[in-house]
Amino acid sequence: MNKIKLVWLVVALSIIPNIAFTQNNTNSPYTRYGYGSLADKAFTSQRAMGGIGYGVRSSYMINPMNPASYSGIDSLTFMFDLGATAQFAWFNDGIHKERKLNGNLEYIGLQFPLIKKMGFGVGLEPFSYVGYHYGTTEKLEVEDGYAQMEYSGTGGLSKVYGSLSYDLFNRLSLGVKVAYLYGDILHNKAQYILDAGSYNVSWTDTLRTTGLTYDFGLQYHQSAGKNKTLVVGLVYSPKIRIHEGVKKGTLRLSSGGAIINSENYSATDSVFELPESYGLGFTYNKLYHYTFGADVLLQRWADAKFYDQTNALNNRLKINLGGEYIPNLMTNKYYNRIRYRAGLSYTNSYLKIKDSGYKEYGASIGFGLPMVDRRSFVNLAFEYSLIQPEVKTYIKEQYFKFTLSYTFNELWFFKQKLQ
Protein backbone atom coordinates (compact mmCIF):
# COMPACT_ATOMS: atom_id res chain seq x y z
CA MET A 1 0.00 0.00 0.00
CA ASN A 2 1.60 3.32 -1.03
CA LYS A 3 1.75 6.38 1.21
CA ILE A 4 -1.13 8.25 -0.48
CA LYS A 5 -3.48 5.31 -0.01
CA LEU A 6 -2.36 4.91 3.59
CA VAL A 7 -3.19 8.58 4.22
CA TRP A 8 -6.70 8.04 2.80
CA LEU A 9 -7.20 5.07 5.12
CA VAL A 10 -6.06 7.01 8.20
CA VAL A 11 -8.34 9.95 7.30
CA ALA A 12 -11.34 7.64 6.83
CA LEU A 13 -10.75 5.90 10.17
CA SER A 14 -10.28 9.20 12.00
CA ILE A 15 -13.44 10.94 10.78
CA ILE A 16 -15.84 8.07 11.58
CA PRO A 17 -16.11 8.71 15.35
CA ASN A 18 -16.49 12.46 14.79
CA ILE A 19 -19.41 12.35 12.36
CA ALA A 20 -22.79 13.10 13.93
CA PHE A 21 -26.22 12.93 12.34
CA THR A 22 -26.89 16.60 12.99
CA GLN A 23 -30.29 16.80 11.27
CA ASN A 24 -33.39 14.86 12.17
CA ASN A 25 -34.43 12.49 9.43
CA THR A 26 -38.10 12.47 10.41
CA ASN A 27 -41.05 14.66 11.34
CA SER A 28 -43.28 11.80 12.41
CA PRO A 29 -45.37 12.25 15.59
CA TYR A 30 -45.00 8.50 16.13
CA THR A 31 -41.37 9.10 17.10
CA ARG A 32 -42.66 10.44 20.40
CA TYR A 33 -42.83 6.79 21.47
CA GLY A 34 -40.11 4.21 22.14
CA TYR A 35 -36.68 5.02 20.74
CA GLY A 36 -38.23 6.77 17.74
CA SER A 37 -38.20 5.61 14.14
CA LEU A 38 -35.76 2.73 13.60
CA ALA A 39 -33.17 3.40 10.90
CA ASP A 40 -32.51 1.12 7.95
CA LYS A 41 -29.25 -0.82 8.36
CA ALA A 42 -28.90 -1.44 4.64
CA PHE A 43 -26.59 0.65 2.47
CA THR A 44 -27.85 2.34 -0.72
CA SER A 45 -27.30 -0.56 -3.12
CA GLN A 46 -29.26 -2.90 -0.82
CA ARG A 47 -32.05 -0.39 -0.18
CA ALA A 48 -32.68 -0.27 -3.91
CA MET A 49 -33.15 -4.07 -3.70
CA GLY A 50 -35.87 -3.81 -1.07
CA GLY A 51 -33.40 -3.83 1.83
CA ILE A 52 -32.16 -7.43 1.55
CA GLY A 53 -28.82 -8.24 3.17
CA TYR A 54 -28.60 -11.40 5.26
CA GLY A 55 -27.76 -13.53 2.21
CA VAL A 56 -25.93 -10.83 0.23
CA ARG A 57 -22.27 -11.69 -0.35
CA SER A 58 -20.48 -9.50 -2.84
CA SER A 59 -16.99 -8.28 -3.66
CA TYR A 60 -18.23 -4.89 -4.92
CA MET A 61 -20.55 -3.71 -2.12
CA ILE A 62 -20.28 -3.38 1.67
CA ASN A 63 -23.02 -5.30 3.48
CA PRO A 64 -23.36 -4.10 7.11
CA MET A 65 -26.42 -6.30 7.74
CA ASN A 66 -24.51 -9.58 8.03
CA PRO A 67 -20.94 -9.45 9.42
CA ALA A 68 -20.21 -12.86 7.85
CA SER A 69 -20.24 -11.17 4.42
CA TYR A 70 -17.03 -9.21 5.08
CA SER A 71 -14.77 -12.14 4.18
CA GLY A 72 -16.28 -12.07 0.67
CA ILE A 73 -14.18 -9.05 -0.27
CA ASP A 74 -11.52 -9.49 -2.92
CA SER A 75 -8.13 -10.04 -1.24
CA LEU A 76 -6.58 -7.10 -3.15
CA THR A 77 -9.21 -4.41 -2.67
CA PHE A 78 -10.29 -1.69 -0.27
CA MET A 79 -13.86 -0.32 -0.22
CA PHE A 80 -15.26 2.92 1.16
CA ASP A 81 -18.98 3.84 1.08
CA LEU A 82 -20.57 7.16 2.02
CA GLY A 83 -24.32 7.78 1.72
CA ALA A 84 -26.71 10.71 2.16
CA THR A 85 -30.49 11.01 1.84
CA ALA A 86 -33.28 13.46 1.06
CA GLN A 87 -36.79 12.61 2.19
CA PHE A 88 -40.18 14.05 1.30
CA ALA A 89 -43.03 13.25 3.71
CA TRP A 90 -46.82 13.66 3.55
CA PHE A 91 -49.01 13.52 6.69
CA ASN A 92 -52.80 13.14 6.70
CA ASP A 93 -55.11 12.66 9.72
CA GLY A 94 -58.30 12.81 7.63
CA ILE A 95 -58.76 16.54 8.29
CA HIS A 96 -55.37 18.20 8.05
CA LYS A 97 -52.57 17.61 5.55
CA GLU A 98 -48.91 18.58 5.86
CA ARG A 99 -45.71 18.14 3.86
CA LYS A 100 -42.12 18.07 5.13
CA LEU A 101 -38.62 17.81 3.65
CA ASN A 102 -35.61 16.36 5.47
CA GLY A 103 -32.01 15.63 4.55
CA ASN A 104 -29.19 13.90 6.33
CA LEU A 105 -25.85 12.18 6.11
CA GLU A 106 -26.96 8.57 6.41
CA TYR A 107 -23.88 6.39 6.95
CA ILE A 108 -20.20 5.84 6.35
CA GLY A 109 -18.40 2.50 6.10
CA LEU A 110 -15.16 0.94 4.94
CA GLN A 111 -13.99 -2.62 4.41
CA PHE A 112 -10.71 -4.34 3.57
CA PRO A 113 -9.02 -7.77 3.95
CA LEU A 114 -6.74 -8.47 6.91
CA ILE A 115 -5.32 -11.83 5.90
CA LYS A 116 -6.39 -14.57 3.55
CA LYS A 117 -10.04 -15.55 4.18
CA MET A 118 -10.53 -12.75 6.72
CA GLY A 119 -12.27 -9.41 6.15
CA PHE A 120 -12.67 -6.40 8.41
CA GLY A 121 -14.90 -3.34 8.37
CA VAL A 122 -15.70 -0.27 10.45
CA GLY A 123 -18.32 2.41 10.10
CA LEU A 124 -20.97 4.68 11.50
CA GLU A 125 -24.70 4.06 11.10
CA PRO A 126 -27.90 5.50 12.61
CA PHE A 127 -30.01 3.36 14.95
CA SER A 128 -33.06 5.59 15.39
CA TYR A 129 -34.40 9.07 14.68
CA VAL A 130 -36.65 11.30 16.78
CA GLY A 131 -38.19 14.45 15.35
CA TYR A 132 -41.73 15.80 15.83
CA HIS A 133 -43.64 18.96 16.71
CA TYR A 134 -47.42 19.14 17.03
CA GLY A 135 -50.14 20.51 19.28
CA THR A 136 -53.61 19.56 20.57
CA THR A 137 -56.34 21.05 22.72
CA GLU A 138 -57.18 18.91 25.76
CA LYS A 139 -59.59 19.14 28.70
CA LEU A 140 -57.91 19.62 32.06
CA GLU A 141 -58.28 16.71 34.46
CA VAL A 142 -57.93 18.64 37.72
CA GLU A 143 -59.23 22.09 36.90
CA ASP A 144 -62.16 23.26 34.81
CA GLY A 145 -61.36 24.48 31.33
CA TYR A 146 -59.04 23.51 28.50
CA ALA A 147 -55.34 23.73 27.74
CA GLN A 148 -53.31 23.94 24.57
CA MET A 149 -50.75 21.09 24.59
CA GLU A 150 -47.57 21.28 22.53
CA TYR A 151 -45.33 18.24 22.00
CA SER A 152 -41.87 18.26 20.43
CA GLY A 153 -38.85 15.99 20.29
CA THR A 154 -35.40 15.79 18.74
CA GLY A 155 -32.36 13.53 18.68
CA GLY A 156 -31.73 9.88 18.03
CA LEU A 157 -29.26 7.06 18.54
CA SER A 158 -26.21 6.11 16.46
CA LYS A 159 -23.66 3.29 16.30
CA VAL A 160 -19.92 3.15 15.69
CA TYR A 161 -19.15 -0.44 14.73
CA GLY A 162 -16.43 -2.87 13.81
CA SER A 163 -17.02 -6.15 11.96
CA LEU A 164 -14.78 -9.17 11.51
CA SER A 165 -15.42 -12.19 9.28
CA TYR A 166 -13.56 -15.41 8.55
CA ASP A 167 -14.10 -18.23 6.04
CA LEU A 168 -14.09 -21.24 8.34
CA PHE A 169 -14.51 -23.64 5.43
CA ASN A 170 -14.76 -23.13 1.69
CA ARG A 171 -18.53 -22.78 1.95
CA LEU A 172 -19.05 -21.44 5.47
CA SER A 173 -18.27 -17.93 6.74
CA LEU A 174 -18.67 -16.63 10.28
CA GLY A 175 -18.71 -13.02 11.46
CA VAL A 176 -19.23 -10.78 14.45
CA LYS A 177 -20.17 -7.11 14.62
CA VAL A 178 -19.57 -5.11 17.81
CA ALA A 179 -21.05 -1.61 18.02
CA TYR A 180 -20.99 1.23 20.50
CA LEU A 181 -24.47 2.74 20.82
CA TYR A 182 -24.77 6.37 21.85
CA GLY A 183 -27.03 9.40 21.56
CA ASP A 184 -29.56 11.68 23.24
CA ILE A 185 -33.34 11.74 22.85
CA LEU A 186 -35.09 14.89 24.05
CA HIS A 187 -38.86 15.10 24.61
CA ASN A 188 -40.69 18.32 25.52
CA LYS A 189 -44.29 18.87 26.55
CA ALA A 190 -45.77 22.32 27.19
CA GLN A 191 -49.20 23.08 28.64
CA TYR A 192 -50.69 26.50 27.98
CA ILE A 193 -53.82 27.19 30.05
CA LEU A 194 -56.41 28.97 27.96
CA ASP A 195 -58.13 30.71 30.88
CA ALA A 196 -56.74 34.16 31.64
CA GLY A 197 -54.76 34.50 34.83
CA SER A 198 -53.72 30.82 34.92
CA TYR A 199 -50.24 29.35 34.71
CA ASN A 200 -48.29 27.46 32.05
CA VAL A 201 -46.23 24.31 32.61
CA SER A 202 -43.37 22.82 30.58
CA TRP A 203 -41.94 19.30 31.03
CA THR A 204 -38.60 18.04 29.66
CA ASP A 205 -37.52 14.40 29.43
CA THR A 206 -33.99 13.56 28.21
CA LEU A 207 -32.64 10.05 27.59
CA ARG A 208 -28.85 9.76 27.25
CA THR A 209 -27.88 6.34 25.93
CA THR A 210 -24.66 4.32 25.84
CA GLY A 211 -24.01 0.61 25.45
CA LEU A 212 -22.49 -2.19 23.38
CA THR A 213 -24.48 -4.27 20.90
CA TYR A 214 -23.48 -7.55 19.24
CA ASP A 215 -24.48 -9.21 15.96
CA PHE A 216 -23.35 -12.74 15.13
CA GLY A 217 -23.56 -13.78 11.49
CA LEU A 218 -23.24 -16.88 9.36
CA GLN A 219 -23.30 -17.39 5.61
CA TYR A 220 -23.34 -20.71 3.76
CA HIS A 221 -22.55 -20.42 0.05
CA GLN A 222 -23.11 -23.34 -2.31
CA SER A 223 -22.48 -23.69 -6.04
CA ALA A 224 -25.76 -24.11 -7.93
CA GLY A 225 -24.41 -24.61 -11.44
CA LYS A 226 -22.00 -22.88 -13.78
CA ASN A 227 -21.26 -19.39 -12.37
CA LYS A 228 -24.30 -19.70 -10.09
CA THR A 229 -24.31 -19.55 -6.30
CA LEU A 230 -26.88 -19.93 -3.55
CA VAL A 231 -26.11 -18.05 -0.32
CA VAL A 232 -28.05 -18.55 2.91
CA GLY A 233 -27.41 -16.13 5.75
CA LEU A 234 -28.30 -16.01 9.46
CA VAL A 235 -27.85 -13.17 11.94
CA TYR A 236 -28.51 -13.34 15.68
CA SER A 237 -28.47 -10.40 18.10
CA PRO A 238 -28.86 -11.09 21.85
CA LYS A 239 -31.02 -8.99 24.14
CA ILE A 240 -28.86 -6.45 25.95
CA ARG A 241 -29.35 -3.93 28.71
CA ILE A 242 -28.26 -0.43 27.76
CA HIS A 243 -27.23 2.44 30.01
CA GLU A 244 -29.81 5.22 30.06
CA GLY A 245 -29.37 8.46 31.92
CA VAL A 246 -32.88 9.88 32.33
CA LYS A 247 -33.17 13.55 33.25
CA LYS A 248 -36.53 15.18 33.91
CA GLY A 249 -37.43 18.80 34.45
CA THR A 250 -40.57 20.84 35.16
CA LEU A 251 -40.94 24.58 34.74
CA ARG A 252 -44.08 26.46 35.87
CA LEU A 253 -44.69 30.00 34.60
CA SER A 254 -47.35 32.59 35.32
CA SER A 255 -49.47 33.88 32.45
CA GLY A 256 -47.16 36.90 32.42
CA GLY A 257 -44.04 34.75 31.98
CA ALA A 258 -42.67 34.91 35.53
CA ILE A 259 -41.20 31.68 36.95
CA ILE A 260 -43.37 30.25 39.70
CA ASN A 261 -41.15 27.23 40.39
CA SER A 262 -38.86 24.76 38.62
CA GLU A 263 -37.72 21.22 39.37
CA ASN A 264 -34.95 19.07 37.89
CA TYR A 265 -33.96 15.54 38.83
CA SER A 266 -32.34 12.40 37.43
CA ALA A 267 -34.02 8.99 37.41
CA THR A 268 -31.67 6.04 37.95
CA ASP A 269 -34.04 3.14 38.64
CA SER A 270 -35.43 2.54 35.13
CA VAL A 271 -34.23 -0.40 33.00
CA PHE A 272 -33.90 -0.16 29.21
CA GLU A 273 -33.12 -3.06 26.87
CA LEU A 274 -32.69 -3.75 23.17
CA PRO A 275 -34.41 -6.90 21.92
CA GLU A 276 -33.23 -10.33 20.95
CA SER A 277 -33.53 -10.61 17.17
CA TYR A 278 -33.23 -13.25 14.46
CA GLY A 279 -32.55 -12.60 10.78
CA LEU A 280 -32.73 -15.15 7.96
CA GLY A 281 -32.18 -14.57 4.25
CA PHE A 282 -30.94 -15.99 0.97
CA THR A 283 -29.74 -14.87 -2.44
CA TYR A 284 -29.47 -16.74 -5.72
CA ASN A 285 -26.72 -15.31 -7.94
CA LYS A 286 -25.37 -15.68 -11.43
CA LEU A 287 -21.92 -14.16 -11.68
CA TYR A 288 -21.89 -10.77 -13.46
CA HIS A 289 -25.56 -11.12 -14.44
CA TYR A 290 -28.18 -11.16 -11.66
CA THR A 291 -28.94 -11.52 -7.95
CA PHE A 292 -32.29 -11.96 -6.26
CA GLY A 293 -33.24 -12.89 -2.71
CA ALA A 294 -35.39 -12.35 0.38
CA ASP A 295 -35.00 -11.62 4.11
CA VAL A 296 -37.08 -12.12 7.25
CA LEU A 297 -36.33 -10.35 10.55
CA LEU A 298 -37.99 -10.93 13.93
CA GLN A 299 -37.26 -8.55 16.82
CA ARG A 300 -38.72 -9.48 20.22
CA TRP A 301 -39.39 -5.95 21.48
CA ALA A 302 -42.24 -7.11 23.73
CA ASP A 303 -39.71 -8.99 25.89
CA ALA A 304 -37.33 -6.01 26.15
CA LYS A 305 -37.79 -3.61 29.04
CA PHE A 306 -38.58 0.02 28.31
CA TYR A 307 -38.78 2.27 31.37
CA ASP A 308 -38.55 -0.92 33.43
CA GLN A 309 -41.61 -2.51 31.78
CA THR A 310 -42.00 -5.38 29.32
CA ASN A 311 -44.84 -5.37 26.78
CA ALA A 312 -44.37 -1.62 26.41
CA LEU A 313 -43.44 -2.26 22.75
CA ASN A 314 -44.59 -4.68 20.03
CA ASN A 315 -42.65 -7.56 18.48
CA ARG A 316 -41.52 -6.51 15.01
CA LEU A 317 -41.60 -8.62 11.84
CA LYS A 318 -39.89 -7.34 8.73
CA ILE A 319 -39.93 -8.96 5.28
CA ASN A 320 -37.80 -7.81 2.33
CA LEU A 321 -37.35 -9.12 -1.19
CA GLY A 322 -35.57 -7.82 -4.25
CA GLY A 323 -32.66 -8.15 -6.61
CA GLU A 324 -30.44 -6.63 -9.27
CA TYR A 325 -29.88 -7.30 -12.97
CA ILE A 326 -26.83 -6.53 -15.14
CA PRO A 327 -27.53 -6.82 -18.90
CA ASN A 328 -23.93 -7.35 -20.02
CA LEU A 329 -21.00 -6.48 -17.78
CA MET A 330 -18.38 -7.21 -20.47
CA THR A 331 -19.70 -4.80 -23.10
CA ASN A 332 -18.46 -1.27 -23.75
CA LYS A 333 -22.04 0.04 -23.89
CA TYR A 334 -22.51 1.93 -20.65
CA TYR A 335 -26.24 1.27 -20.13
CA ASN A 336 -25.58 -2.50 -20.38
CA ARG A 337 -23.09 -2.29 -17.49
CA ILE A 338 -25.49 -0.44 -15.17
CA ARG A 339 -26.83 -2.50 -12.26
CA TYR A 340 -30.64 -2.23 -12.26
CA ARG A 341 -32.24 -2.88 -8.87
CA ALA A 342 -35.76 -3.18 -7.41
CA GLY A 343 -37.49 -4.56 -4.34
CA LEU A 344 -40.44 -4.63 -1.92
CA SER A 345 -40.70 -4.56 1.88
CA TYR A 346 -43.20 -4.91 4.72
CA THR A 347 -42.92 -4.33 8.45
CA ASN A 348 -45.15 -3.79 11.43
CA SER A 349 -44.43 -1.10 13.97
CA TYR A 350 -42.54 -1.95 17.15
CA LEU A 351 -44.16 1.11 18.72
CA LYS A 352 -47.22 0.62 20.87
CA ILE A 353 -49.48 3.67 20.68
CA LYS A 354 -52.38 3.21 23.09
CA ASP A 355 -52.31 -0.56 22.43
CA SER A 356 -52.23 -0.12 18.64
CA GLY A 357 -49.59 0.40 15.97
CA TYR A 358 -49.18 0.64 12.23
CA LYS A 359 -48.07 -1.32 9.16
CA GLU A 360 -45.42 -0.06 6.77
CA TYR A 361 -45.31 -1.03 3.08
CA GLY A 362 -42.43 -0.11 0.82
CA ALA A 363 -41.23 -0.32 -2.79
CA SER A 364 -37.86 0.67 -4.22
CA ILE A 365 -35.88 0.95 -7.43
CA GLY A 366 -32.31 2.01 -8.02
CA PHE A 367 -29.17 1.91 -10.09
CA GLY A 368 -25.49 1.16 -9.66
CA LEU A 369 -23.65 3.46 -12.06
CA PRO A 370 -20.12 2.18 -12.77
CA MET A 371 -17.25 4.63 -12.83
CA VAL A 372 -14.43 4.64 -15.37
CA ASP A 373 -12.43 2.03 -13.41
CA ARG A 374 -15.48 -0.32 -13.50
CA ARG A 375 -14.94 -1.12 -9.81
CA SER A 376 -16.29 2.01 -8.10
CA PHE A 377 -19.96 3.01 -8.28
CA VAL A 378 -22.36 5.86 -7.77
CA ASN A 379 -25.45 4.23 -6.26
CA LEU A 380 -28.98 5.66 -6.42
CA ALA A 381 -32.01 4.37 -4.52
CA PHE A 382 -35.59 5.67 -4.77
CA GLU A 383 -37.91 4.41 -2.04
CA TYR A 384 -41.63 4.90 -1.46
CA SER A 385 -43.21 3.86 1.83
CA LEU A 386 -46.72 4.01 3.25
CA ILE A 387 -47.42 3.97 6.99
CA GLN A 388 -50.96 2.75 7.57
CA PRO A 389 -52.15 3.07 11.20
CA GLU A 390 -54.43 0.44 12.69
CA VAL A 391 -56.71 3.19 14.07
CA LYS A 392 -58.34 5.16 11.25
CA THR A 393 -58.25 8.47 13.12
CA TYR A 394 -54.45 8.27 13.51
CA ILE A 395 -52.07 9.96 11.09
CA LYS A 396 -51.36 8.30 7.76
CA GLU A 397 -47.84 8.93 6.50
CA GLN A 398 -46.23 8.61 3.07
CA TYR A 399 -42.55 8.98 2.26
CA PHE A 400 -40.49 9.35 -0.87
CA LYS A 401 -36.82 8.88 -0.04
CA PHE A 402 -33.82 9.42 -2.30
CA THR A 403 -30.44 8.00 -1.25
CA LEU A 404 -27.17 8.74 -3.01
CA SER A 405 -23.87 7.05 -2.22
CA TYR A 406 -20.41 6.64 -3.64
CA THR A 407 -18.70 3.27 -3.30
CA PHE A 408 -14.96 3.60 -3.74
CA ASN A 409 -13.38 0.25 -4.68
CA GLU A 410 -9.63 0.29 -5.28
CA LEU A 411 -6.88 -2.30 -5.78
CA TRP A 412 -4.89 -1.03 -2.82
CA PHE A 413 -2.97 -4.23 -2.16
CA PHE A 414 -2.04 -5.00 -5.75
CA LYS A 415 1.58 -4.64 -6.78
CA GLN A 416 2.47 -4.39 -10.43
CA LYS A 417 5.56 -6.20 -11.71
CA LEU A 418 7.74 -4.70 -14.40
CA GLN A 419 8.81 -7.10 -17.13
3 state DSSP class of 276: coil
Q: Is the pLDDT of residue 172 over 80?
A: yes
Specify the higher pLDDT residue, 264 or 344: 344
Q: Is the pLDDT of residue 252 over 80?
A: no
Give the residues across from 405 on adjacent strands. 83, 379
Distance CA 98, CA 233 (A): 41
Distance CA 16, CA 198 (A): 50
- Using 50, 70 and 90 to split pLDDT, how confident is the model at 251? confident
Using alpha carbons only, give the angle 264, 268, 272 rounded to the nearest 5 degrees: 120
CATH 2.40.160.60 for domain 3-197+211-238+272-410, yes or no, is: yes
3 state DSSP class of 18: helix
* 306: amino acid identity, one letter: F
Evaluated on CA atoms 235, 240, 245, 247, the torsion sign reads positive
Distance CA 276, CA 297 (A): 11
Q: Is the pLDDT of residue 24 over 80?
A: no
Residues ≥6 apart with Cβ < 8 Å to 293: 49, 52, 55, 56, 231, 281, 282, 283, 284, 321, 322, 323
Distance CA 7, CA 1 (A): 10
Q: Could you tell me if 109 and 123 are in contact, meaning their C-beta atoms sit under 8 angstroms apart?
A: yes
What pLDDT is attached to residue 255?
62
Per-residue b or e along 52-86, where b marks 16 or more CB atoms closer than 10 Å to that residue's CB:
bbbbbbbebbbbbbbbbbbbbbbbebbbbbbbbbe
Quick: pLDDT tens for 266-300: 776 788 999 999 999 999 999 999 999 999 999 99
pTM of the model: 0.89
Beta-strand ranges (E) seen in 168-270 are: 172-193, 200-223, 228-237, 240-253, 259-267
- Using 50, 70 and 90 to split pLDDT, how confident is the model at 418? very low
3 state DSSP class of 196: coil
The ranges assigned to domains in the chain are: 3-197+211-238+272-410
Q: Is the pLDDT of residue 22 over 50?
A: no
**Overall average pLDDT of the 326-355 stretch:** 94
Closest CA to 301 of 291, 310, 292: 310
